[in-house]
């Protein structure tokens, strides 16, 4: 049976900036791939019903992980819901990821739920990858370049 994981993080950045980082293809390519991977955003249309296609490439080995999905719900600064599926036949099914943003005095409360993770992917691997990605997200959205 597919797995579900839940993550939580508080970021010292406003919800609008965090929201934008989840939808801007340049930002996604910077923060989303776990450590040791680079990201190619092949298609991206951040509108409900539209979708995206990306590839994570392991820098050391060149191994490719292609995936894509559709945006199911977009509420600016508050909520994002999207589907995800891998192009690898060994990773069947569709995942649904829900991102909830809540404004705090110090920034944003970020909650993520990812459902339908293929059985072939151990949940601890998902947690590790997301933790690495969220560290990179924090560095991106918490930085104030002042430009």
pLDDT tens digit string along 95-122?
Answer: 999 999 999 999 999 999 999 999 889 9
| pLDDT band at 1; cut points 50, 70, 90 | low
Q: Where are the alpha helices (DSSP H) in 8-146?
A: 15-23, 25-31, 123-142
Residue 96 sits in which domain range? 3-142
Could you tell me if residue 16 is inside a domain?
Answer: yes
User: For the segment 9-55, what is each residue's pLDDT rounded down to a tens digit?
Assistant: 999 999 999 999 999 999 999 999 999 999 999 999 999 999 999 99
Q: Can you tell me the distance from the alpha carbon of 35 to that of 38, in angstroms, rounded to the nearest whole number?
A: 8
Could you tell me if residue 147 is inside a domain?
Answer: no
Q: Can you tell me the distance from the alpha carbon of 113 to that of 58, in angstroms, rounded to the nearest whole number?
A: 25
Could you tell me if residue 135 is inside a domain?
Answer: yes
pTM for this structure? Answer: 0.92
Residues 45, 146 contacting (CB under 8 angstroms) = no
147 pLDDT more than 80 = no
Round to the nearest angstrom and report the end-to-end CA distance of the chain: 48
Assign residue 120 the CATH number of its domain: 3.30.530.20
Could you tell me if residue 25 is inside a domain?
Answer: yes
Which of 60, 52, 107 has the alpha carbon at shortest distance from 80? 52
Domain count, the chain: 1
Could you tell me if residue 108 is inside a domain?
Answer: yes
């Amino acid at each position: 049976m597919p797995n579900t994981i839940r993550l939580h993080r508080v970021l010292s950045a406003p919800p609008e900036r965090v929201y934008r980082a989840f939808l801007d293809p340049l930002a996604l390519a910077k923060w989303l791939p776990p450590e040791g991977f680079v990201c190619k955003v092949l298609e991206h249309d951040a509108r409900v019903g539209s979708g995206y296609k990306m590839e994570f490439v392991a820098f050391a080995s060149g191994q490719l992980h292609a995936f894509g999905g559709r945006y199911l719900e977009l509420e600016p600064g508050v909520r994002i819901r999207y589907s995800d599926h891998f192009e690898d036949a060994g990773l069947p099914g569709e995942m649904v990821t829900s991102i909830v943003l809540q404004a705090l005095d110090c920034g944003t409360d970020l909650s993520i739920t990812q459902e339908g993770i293929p059985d072939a992917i151990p949940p601890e691997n998902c947690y590790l990858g997301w933790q690495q990605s969220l560290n990179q997200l924090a560095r991106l959205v918490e930085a104030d370049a002042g430009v």
